[in-house]
Chain A
Amino acid sequence: MIELKNVSIVFNQGTVNENQALSNINLKVKEGDFITIIGSNGAGKSTLFNTIAGTYLPSRGEILVNDRNVTRDPEYKRAQYIGRIFQNPTLGTASNMSLEDNMMITYKKGFKWLKRSLNNRMREYFKTELVQLRMGLEDRMKENLVMFSGGQRQAITLLMMVLSKPALILLDEHTAALDPKNAEIILELTNKFIKEQKLTSMMITHNMSHAIEFGNRLLMMDKGEIIFDIEGEAKKALTVEKLIQKFHELRHKSFENDRTLLSEE
């Protein structure tokens, strides 16, 4: 489905601040994969997402989507088939617009024309979809999003993204800015949507038990490299202890340090 070939990203090339954010990443994401990604701060997880989404163009290497080279495609073009949720809940929705307007904007990908699509049929449809979030949002369609909590906004962003039927979804620690209860709700919804719609997805998390619990494949990143890639039955057998052990073996770093870096929560 999506394939990264020898992708490298170097920031500030040729200066003292030169920073190899990604080095020789080779990754093949298959249709229907649900990949969780862990790694310490600065491991290159978000840079990997930014590269796939097109926010950063790679310094070297190629990105293929269904065997089509998209390496030079700008972010907005790739967004036609990539859905993305950020850590910051305000990035997915427009604060000063009503819920129904927000849903209308995000309902379909691609350039919008002078058509007026928001009618009562659409409103009814949005309402029925909102019910599955079980947050009572279906009765607040006319309210501005600035009135909603971070958890609600993230749930709305998630729902709207699913409705637009992207081929790949990128979840960049999308529960990290929420309180534990809301984070749990969003994570459950995420899992439910991904399973129901058989979405190909990648999820960055700082929580190792979540990384093990969810998805069929796990990537561990460090210093801009994918150091560990495990899937299927082998992944199911993982535990937090084994994961830390593995990191230790691969990187020869002190155990205590790893625990803080790859926080267990």
Chain B
Amino acid sequence: MIEGIFVEGLIYGIMVLGVFISFRILDFPDLTVDGSFPLGAALMVQCLLMGMNGWLALLVAFTGGVVAGMITAVIHNHLKVPNLLAGILTMTMLYSVNIRILGNRANVPILKHETLLTQVTDKLTGIVPDDYILLVFFLVVALAVKVLLDLFFRTDLGLTMGAMGNNEQMVISQGVDPRTLKTVGVGLSNGLVALSGAFAAQYLGFADVGLGQGIIVSGLASVMIGEFLVMKSNRIGVLTFCALAGSILFYAVMYLGRYYGYVIHMTPSDLNLIKGILIICLLILTQFTKLKKIGIKAVAAK
């Protein structure tokens, strides 16, 4: 049971890292996420059903997310649409696209089909205790994504992207087109979200167009929990760690809510309300402690 809690946190942690990039590093509140998560799931499932190699399918899902993010950025950059609206536009369009990808169906199961997870389970059986195989696998995957991101944000391009959310004028003054940075950044962010969706689909055993509903809220809540609980820092490694830790905690709470919520007469449909209230509470707490002064500014302050 305990591994179930962490596995969810790690799978969605990849999505949280994506949300962290758009919201915190780029200061670009991006709602595409609600569409790119099921996009990743749909692409993954369809590719697997077509008999494609699992890792290749993962790449397809990632690329799909990158393209979705780039579309949002291009709408925002070139049509001068506010970033929130640009994200909603892409998200809405993705709903139809996702149903198309799933072959005009809203839900496609993949339970009996071979996935990356079944392959990994086969390989690791005997080496790792059965109950922990997925936990180990997703721990490795989430940490690998985190380390790659850390490396990326220490390159010249990554550093400049960090400056972007802080001070767009500074980026312009360096002779860099902020539109290019936004396109790359939002693309990368949605690529990660789609990757997370691809893993989630394999874990859950199906792809569903409704999979992305409220993902952005969960992602944001996770980012904020991470920032709230773990110490403030300007080191990217610590910040991405916070995002992952926040995701694990958040999904642990949600998991407990789902399985043991009945004790207090809570149903799974109450979870969205809980998520929202959780974010509001975190915002209030952040205001109180003024933590945002040192770390990255809270979106609420805007």
Contact B176 A93, beta carbon cutoff 8 Å: no
Name the distance in Å between A59's Cβ and chain B's nearest Cβ: 20
CB distance from A49 to the nearest CB of B (A): 12
Q: How far is the CB of A55 from chain B (nearest CB, A)?
A: 9
A69-107 interface mask toward B, CB cutoff 8 Å, 1 = contact, 0 = none?
A: 000001111011001101000111111111001101110
Report which of B152, B167, B180 forms a contact with A94, defined as CB distance below 8 A.
Answer: B167
Given contacts A80-B175, A94-B170, A106-B170, contact A112 B234 (CB under 8 A): no
Q: A71 CB to closest chain B CB, in angstroms?
A: 18
Q: Is the CB of A94 within 8 A of B163?
A: yes
Q: Which residue of A lies closest to B160 (CB)?
A: A112
**Within 8 Å of chain A (Cβ to Cβ): is B295?**
yes
Q: Counting CB contacts under 8 A, is B169 at the interface?
A: yes
Our pick among B162, B167, B177 for the contact of A90 (Cβ within 8 Å) is B167
A125 contacts B by Cβ under 8 Å:
no
Indicate if A42 sits at the interface (CB-CB under 8 A).
no
The reply on B157 being an interface residue by CB < 8 A is: yes
User: Which residues of chain B come closer than 8 Å to A95, judged between CB atoms?
Assistant: 166-167
Which one of A19-27, A113-121, A193-201, A207-215 is at the interface? A113-121
Tell me the complex Cα distance, A80–B174, Å.
Answer: 7
Residue of B nearest to A101 (CB): B159
- Chain A minimum-CB-distance residue to B157: A112
Question: How far, in whole Å, are A188 and B154 apart by their CA atoms in the complex?
Answer: 34
Q: Is B172 an interface residue (CB 8 A)?
A: yes
Residues 135 to 180 of chain B near chain A (Cβ within 8 Å)? 151-152, 154-160, 162-163, 166-167, 169-178, 180
Flag whether B279 is at the interface (Cβ < 8 A): no
Q: Is B296 an interface residue (CB 8 A)?
A: yes
Residues of A within 8 A of B174 (CB): 79, 105-106, 109-110, 164
Contacts of B158 in A (CB 8 A): 114
How far, in whole Å, are A166 and B173 apart by their CA atoms in the complex? Answer: 11
CA distance A86 to B295 in the complex (A): 25
Which of B159, B166, B296 is in CB contact (< 8 Å) with A112? B159
Contacts of B297 in A (CB 8 A): 96
Query: Which residues of chain B come closer than 8 Å to A46, judged between CB atoms?
Result: none
Across-interface contacts of B171 in A (CB, < 8 A): 76
| A182 in the interface (beta carbon within 8 A) | no
Q: Determine the interface band of chain A, counting residues with CB < 8 A from chain B.
A: 35 or more
Are the CB atoms of A94 and B173 closer together than 8 Å?
Answer: no
Chain A interface secondary structure, helix, strand, loop or mixed? loop
Beta-carbon contact of A76 and B166 below 8 Å: no
Task: Give the most central of A74, A79, A92, A118: most B CB within 10 Å.
Answer: A79
Which among A97, A117, A164 is the interface contact of B156 at CB below 8 angstroms?
A117
Verify B156–A112 contact, CB threshold 8 A: yes
Cβ-defined contact, A111 with B180, below 8 A: yes
CB-CB under 8 A from B180, the residues of chain A are: 111
Of listed B177, B180, B296, residue having the most chain A CB within 10 A: B177
| Chain A: minimal CB distance from B178 (Å) | 7
A121 CB → nearest B CB, Å: 15
Contact between B296 and A96, CB atoms less than 8 A apart: yes
B175 touching A79, Cβ below 8 Å: yes
- Tell me the A137-166 residues at the B interface (CB within 8 Å): 144, 146, 164
B175 and A76 form a contact (CB under 8 A):
yes
User: Which of B154, B166, B177, B234 contacts A116, CB < 8 Å?
Assistant: B154
Asked whether B173 lies within 8 Å of A92 as measured between CB atoms, the reply is yes
Instruction: Return the contact of B155 from the options A92, A106, A111, A114 (Cβ within 8 A).
Output: A114
Question: Are B156 and A94 touching (Cβ within 8 A)?
Answer: no
- Nearest CB in chain B to that of A74: its residue: B177
Contact across chains for A114 and B152 when beta carbons are under 8 A apart = yes
When C-beta atoms are compared, the residue in chain A nearest to B179 turns out to be A76
Closest to A110 in B: B175
A positions within 8 Å CB-CB of B = 74-77, 79-80, 83-84, 86, 90-98, 101-102, 104-106, 108-118, 144, 146, 164
Known: A101-B163, A111-B176. 15 other contacts (CB 8 A): A76-B171, A79-B175, A84-B173, A86-B169, A91-B170, A92-B170, A92-B173, A96-B166, A104-B156, A104-B159, A108-B156, A112-B157, A113-B156, A114-B152, A116-B154
Pairs A–B under 8 Å by Cβ, sample size 9: A75-B172, A92-B173, A94-B166, A96-B166, A97-B162, A104-B156, A111-B176, A112-B160, A113-B157
Task: List the 9 closest A-B pairs by CB distance, nearest first.
Answer: A112-B156, A94-B166, A80-B175, A94-B163, A109-B175, A79-B175, A112-B157, A112-B160, A114-B155
